[in-house]
Homo-oligomer: A and B are copies of this chain.
Amino acid sequence: MRNQSMNDGKFMRIAIMKAREGIRHGQAPFGACIVRKGKVLVSSHNAVFGHTDITAHAEINALHSACRKLGKIDLSDCVIYSTTEPCPMCFTACHWAKIPKVFYGTKIADAAKYGFSEWPISNRKMELLGKSKIRLVPGFMRKECLELFKEWTKRKGARAY
């Protein structure tokens, strides 16, 4: 149990490192890591500005890469670690991919506070409406994930969307 928890921390730290890499390159402060059978499969940061693509959120990028890497669209043997609660776009993408468990740090409401035009629809709300069985682990390493927003605001030219 303790090892599992330590591993979860390790995987979230990879998502955080990825978000930090994005921040350094002028991207929005979000990262995601997809793990399969205890091993990191892919990690991605938000690339909305870098790719000039409004859909290029960290989770969408990670799900895309994971599918391509495995050669399948069913990721039911994977877990995702997101620095921020996936937006309804990304959370629905997790549903489509059959991801059974989502760890996240900060909330959609935190991202909104920092200027992102989030729809205020929580994963819990989506889950209830969708009668979904995705397991949520909210607030995981929240403090470290919140730090990403603070680092991002210090960057010259930081902009939300």
A residues near B (Cβ < 8 Å) are 48-49, 51-56, 60, 63-64, 67-68, 71-73, 75, 87-90, 92-93, 95-97, 117, 119-121, 125-126, 129-132, 161
Contact = CB atoms under 8 A, between A and B. Distances in A.
Contacts of A121: 126, 129-130
Contacts of A49: 73
25 contacts: A48-B73, A52-B67, A52-B71, A53-B63, A53-B64, A53-B67, A53-B68, A54-B67, A55-B63, A55-B64, A55-B67, A55-B96, A56-B64, A87-B96, A88-B92, A88-B130, A89-B93, A92-B92, A95-B117, A119-B126, A119-B129, A120-B129, A121-B126, A121-B129, A121-B130
The DSSP consensus for interface residues of chain A is: loop
Contact of A93 (B52, B54, B63, B71): B54
A146 to B, nearest CB: 22
A68 B40 CA distance: 30
Contacts of A97: 54-55
Contact of A119 (B67, B73, B117, B132): B132
Given A88-B126, A92-B87, A121-B126, A54 B48 contact: no
A74 to B, nearest CB: 8
Max count, chain B CB within 10 A of own CB: residue among A55, A73, A130: A55
A64 B57 CA distance: 12
A126 B91 CA distance: 13
A96 B51 CA distance: 15
